[in-house]
Amino acid sequence: MTELERLRGPEDLRALSPRRLRVLAEEIRAFLVDSVSRTGGHLGPNLGVVELTLAIHRVFSSPRDSVVFDTGHQAYVHKLLTGRQDFADLRRRGGLSGYPSRTESDHDVVENSHASTALSWADGISRARLLAGDTDRHTVAVIGDGALTGGMAWEALNNLADSPDQRLVIVVNDNGWSYSPTVGGLARYLDAVRTDRNYERVLGWGKRTLQGGGRPGRLTYDALHGMKKGLKDVLRPQHGLFEELGLKSIGPVDGHDLDALDAALRSARGYGGPVIVHAVTEKGRGYVPAESDAVDRFHTVGKIHPETGLPVVPSRFGWTSVFADEIVQIARTRSDVVGITAAMPEPVGLAPMAREFPGRVIDVGIAEEHALTSAAGMAFAGLHPVVSLYATFLNRAFDQLLMDVALHRAGVTITLDRAGLTGDDGASHNGMWDLALLRLVPGLRLAAPRDEATLRSALREAVSVSDAPTVVRYPKGALPEPTPALSRTSGLDVLAREAGDGGARVLVVGVGPFAATAAEVAHRLGDQGIGATAVDPCWVIPVPDALVDMAAGFDRVVTIEDGIVTGGFGSALRDRLAESSPEVQVQVHGIAHQFLSHASRAQLEEEMGLRPQDIARETAAAVARRNENASTPGVS
């Protein structure tokens, strides 16, 4: 049996010799490359935290001591060490989640995949234990340097500095990356500490001859820490950033040296108050394709060839690529257009614009709130900002959108990538809330394009609006085949017309990627003799007056959207029709008002009855009931 196969839980780690620990670390890396290459997932972040996670579980006693990961995509090693070694269905229905999950293990505390929140969680846990007099348990928060660019993390640090008795250890996993290279003043500070030649020499990073006899070796951690303390005033004027806040800090420590990590974490555990351990790691460690990748393609991967890191199936031209191309074309003719990203220029498609127009794409770090309010300021000063986010992360900046952008009628465009069902990443990443949330924002306009042509058109129309916020949302993945319009009426694209047999007339309205579904539903209804018309309004917030007028001429309206049903587009149209045409029956289809477990998009659509055959069947049954009631005296 291998060391990994022998492992039953984190308590087994404490009996392993240094040699066996090193063997286990290499086995874990080999396991991750082999497993994640088959399923897809977050590879680079986990390769970088192998020794760090081993050391945490050797020094602390999970689950009695709580370990909180920020963000949870670096928790695969934690899963392996806590008894979850079946990665065959990682991020698939019935398999392991791609993030910590309380339903999987008592060792998991937070499903944390929205960054910069772990310190607040840890503060709450450790503060509650202190108030309860439970002083022999520790809370460990593992946070990357990228997540420290988020304002919420600093709110927590500010609070922790005023609570000296909490048993809390903050491990800063400093690898210089979030999704992209970490940016801003904090990044420069950590980089200065990380690369200071005196610190590097004193801490003994790498193999250097620091002991007698010409043999490579390292000073003991206590000796290193003492030398560092004595040199502090020489190396860095005054105190370090964290110590200025009133927090004790240890490091930097080589995040791949188990001995140094063990000593640092034991020192932190024994301190008796909040303490920061600064561990320097290498994202993608031990896997040559990831180590040599300049744009971090290995943060998260699909199925890849483990030997080369190349995709098994090359990605089709996708929604993000269309946005990336169109925004560059717009920027060439509009010098006022600037891009804003929250640490994700590559994933959201702003990297090509940044390469062609340096200085016109601003990476604010993992700070969506700041991104929106800064955009409002840019709009006031004469620019037209395009803020590009994953749809799920807009939730974090709703107040800024409402009170800073919309209230001031700022000409800001927001593009929401991964809108709707994203599936494999689970509950926290489905971009299903924006349609319901954004209905609440006065003056805001939102477009949901259905294909490449409508995405390009919607983006150009959005950036032409200078006195209100505009939003363009689109899903994850490859582009669908074009869905051409038969005609265009008052801004509404008619996608299908079925005459039927002269009975009930149904209007099917599809939002975004469900426009093609609406056309298919109309065809299926037509095959059953039901007159049906499918339309795509493209701009869905606010509900177009032309759509309300058109719907008044039908007996039943069916809406299909990839947002939550409660408070979404369909309910907005139903409310409008209830006022103007109460006799029209409205049938709303969308995402259930619940958190969804990880599964493929196709599986989720089937589960929620969003396939064309499901909707056509339900609609035909409703029409049949209406016809039956109409033919029965006294029944309406």
Active site residues: 283, 368, 396
- Whether 363 and 389 have beta carbons less than 8 Å apart is answered as no
- Whether 350 and 483 have beta carbons less than 8 Å apart is answered as no
DSSP string, 60-105: S-TTTSEEEEESGGG-HHHHHHTT----TTTTSTTS--SS--TTT-
Give φ, ψ of 531 to 5 degrees. -65, 130
Closest among 390, 343, 282 to 148, alpha carbons compared: 343
3 is in an annotated binding site: no
Closest among 121, 151, 190, 141 to 365, alpha carbons compared: 151
287 is in an annotated binding site: yes
589 is in an annotated binding site: no
145 is in an annotated binding site: yes
Rounded CA-CA distance 180/45 in Å is 12
CA–CA distance from 551 to each of 156, 331, 426, 583, 620 (Å)?
51, 38, 35, 11, 18
147 is in an annotated binding site: yes
The two tokens of residue 280 are 């320097």
474 is in an annotated binding site: no
114 is in an annotated binding site: yes
DSSP string, 246-311: T-EEEEEEETT-HHHHHHHHHHHHTT-S-EEEEEE--TTTT-HHHHT-SS-TTSSBSSB-TTT--B
CB atoms within 10 A of CB 494: 17
57 is in an annotated binding site: no
427 is in an annotated binding site: no
- Whether 386 and 327 have beta carbons less than 8 Å apart is answered as yes
Give the CB-side neighbour count of residue 275, counting CA atoms within 13 A.
Answer: 19
Determine if the peptide bond prior to 480 is cis (ω within 30°): no
41 is in an annotated binding site: no
Given the DSSP bridges, would you call strands 539-541 and 445-447 parallel, antiparallel or unpaired? antiparallel
Annotated binding site for Mg(2+): 145, 175
Residue ranges of the binding site for thiamine diphosphate: 73, 113-115, 146-147, 175, 287, 368
Binding residues: 73, 113-115, 145-147, 175, 287, 368
